[in-house]
């Protein structure tokens, strides 16, 4: 049982967002969602169950986490212990391969990699669907990072029915995401707190559920048809409508900073100049710009000029969970 297992999972960027839970404990979302897994950002996690341990030991990016900071990790290990009918503690070592403190989504790759490494280290052989359900218990967005390419998380109505599935896993469509890192610091409001406040206090939350249903129905055929304009228009408006839930919460809050608004205008300027590109952003100030491969050079040139070379990272569709 002390065999160490290492798994790698990539982050994903939501094109139709998950923003709200119907069940906090099981992490069942209010709506389905759809994402693109990215090749540039990933987490490697090693897990070994060791009878010599008297508690779980969790190290992330060379730093040993306190019991409080490792609570979500230990919760997922508890689920794995229950499934494998044993009570051995584990040593978890994880490294986020996200350009230094870029403040890009980490919980998705982190909990997908942990689900893969912990389940296999415990001797379980889970299907990808069951890995997706397990990853969901750590962080909702991790449900989708089990798969590569374009992925849909079906909201479902209980633990068994809430899992992700690939819409298009082997992506031959020449599209890219240009990430613009505008603020490397950790956000003040976590995704978990932010979505809970939005569900509880935004009067627009019922409308958001209708927006998501409509956007999902429209974006799936557009992705399968490689309809770039349609996909771009949907992902940009979906992101803005998600962020409207933060501005309309009580108390209101926002993940935008001044540079975020400037960068949004830069994207609109690029479009006006004939370079097709669309932005989205998760629970942070950093923009991810969806574009076609032929336009990467022009877009990165403009962003590098306006925001600096270190702030621009080009990513492509990435793969699903793997074991190293
Ligand atoms: P993000 O936008 O980065 O996903 P979240 O607020 O959703 O931000 O999640 C950040 C949480 O994920 C933090 O609690 C952090 O401790 C946890 N986390 C990040 N990377 C890892 C990792 N490699 N292993 C375990 N937990 C991680
Ligand atoms: C804006 O998955 O980080 O990135 O389930 O509470 O861990 P928890 O939240 P998390 O939320 C992600 C929110 C989002 C949109 C998305 O990824 O769909
Ligand atoms: Co997250």
Burial code of 47-68, b = ≥16 C-beta within 10 A, e = fewer? bbbbeeeeebbbebeeeebeee
Say if residue 100 is in the same domain as residue 140: yes
Domain boundary among 151, 170, 189: 170
Q: Which domain holds residue 26?
A: 5-170
Identify whether 323 is part of a domain.
no
Say if residue 50 is in the same domain as residue 63: yes
Identify the pLDDT of residue 273. Answer: 97
Question: Which ligand 2 atom is at minimum distance from the Cα of 13?
Answer: 17
- Count the Cβ atoms, other than its own, within 10 Å of residue 21: 17
- 45: nearest Cα among 126, 151, 121, 149: 121
Identify whether 16 is part of a domain.
yes
Say if residue 39 is in the same domain as residue 83: yes
Residues with Cβ–ion distance below 5 A, ligand 3: 107, 191
Identify whether 322 is part of a domain.
no
Say if residue 191 is in the same domain as residue 160: no
Give the phi and the psi of residue 193 in degrees, each rounded to 5. Answer: -70, -40
Which of 18, 33, 73, 286 to probe ligand 2 with, by most ligand atoms within 8 A of CB?
18
CATH at residue 63: 3.30.230.10
Q: Please tell me the residue having the least CA distance from ligand 2 atom 8.
A: 139
CATH at residue 222: 3.30.70.890
pLDDT in tens, the chain (324 residues): 579 999 999 999 999 999 999 999 999 999 999 999 999 999 999 999 999 999 999 999 999 999 999 999 999 999 999 999 999 999 999 999 986 555 677 899 999 999 999 999 999 999 999 999 999 999 999 999 999 999 999 999 999 999 999 999 999 999 999 999 998 777 789 999 999 999 999 999 999 999 999 999 999 999 999 999 999 999 999 999 999 999 999 999 999 999 999 999 999 999 999 999 999 999 999 999 999 999 999 999 999 999 999 999 999 999 999 999
Identify whether 321 is part of a domain.
no
Say if residue 94 is in the same domain as residue 187: no
Say if residue 122 is in the same domain as residue 186: no
Number of domains in the chain: 2
- 7: nearest Cα among 127, 93, 91: 93
Say if residue 51 is in the same domain as residue 103: yes
Domain boundary among 149, 170, 191: 170
Say if residue 190 is in the same domain as residue 131: no
Say if residue 105 is in the same domain as residue 201: no
Residues with beta carbon inside 6 Å of ligand 1?
A: 43, 60, 73, 94, 96, 105-107, 110, 139, 190-191, 282-284
- 17: nearest Cα among 105, 148, 134, 115: 105
Per the DSSP assignment, residues forming a β-bridge with 313 are 179
pTM metric for this prediction? 0.97
Judged by DSSP in three states, 264 sits in helix
Say if residue 13 is in the same domain as residue 133: yes
- 303: nearest Cα among 272, 259, 251, 245: 259
Identify the pLDDT of residue 235. Answer: 99
Distance from the alpha carbon of residue 183 to the mean position of ligand 2, in angstroms: 18
Ligand closest to Cα of 36 equals 2
Say if residue 108 is in the same domain as residue 181: no
Say if residue 163 is in the same domain as residue 237: no
Domain boundary among 170, 198, 232: 170
- Count the Cβ atoms, other than its own, within 10 Å of residue 306: 15
């Amino acid at each position: 049982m002390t065999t160490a297992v290492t798994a790698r999972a990539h982050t994903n960027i939501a094109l139709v967002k998950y923003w709200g839970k119907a069940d906090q404990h099981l992490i069942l979302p209010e709506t389905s969602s759809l994402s693109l897994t990215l090749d540039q950002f990933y987490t490697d996690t090693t897990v070994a169950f060791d009878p010599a341990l008297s508690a779980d030991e969790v190290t992330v990016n060379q730093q040993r986490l306190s019991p409080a900071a490792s609570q979500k990790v230990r919760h997922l290990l508890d689920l794995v212990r229950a499934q494998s009918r044993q009570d051995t503690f584990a040593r978890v070592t994880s490294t986020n391969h996200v350009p230094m403190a870029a403040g890009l989504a980490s919980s998705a790759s982190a909990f997908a990699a942990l689900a893969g490494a912990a389940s296999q280290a415990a001797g379980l052989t889970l299907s990808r669907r069951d890995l997706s359900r397990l990853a969901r218990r750590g962080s909702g967005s991790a449900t989708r990072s089990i798969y590569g390419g374009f992925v849909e998380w079906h909201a479902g109505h209980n633990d068994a029915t809430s899992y992700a599935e690939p819409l298009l896993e082997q992506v031959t469509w020449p599209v890219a995401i240009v990430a613009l890192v505008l603020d490397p610091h950790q956000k003040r409001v976590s995704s978990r707190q932010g979505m809970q406040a939005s569900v509880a206090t935004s009067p627009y939350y019922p409308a958001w559920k209708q927006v998501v249903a409509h956007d999902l129905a429209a974006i799936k055929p557009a992705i399968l048809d490689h309809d770039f304009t349609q996909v771009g228009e949907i992902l940009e408006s979906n992101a803005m409508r998600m962020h409207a839930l933060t501005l309309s919460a009580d108390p209101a809050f926002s993940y935008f900073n001044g540079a975020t608004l400037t960068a949004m205008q830069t994207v609109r300027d690029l479009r006006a100049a004939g370079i097709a590109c669309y932005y989205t952003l998760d629970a942070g100030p950093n923009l991810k710009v969806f574009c076609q491969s032929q336009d990467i050079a022009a877009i990165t040139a403009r962003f590098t000029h306006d925001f600096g070379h270190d702030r621009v990272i080009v990513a492509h569709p990435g793969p699903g969970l793997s074991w190293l």
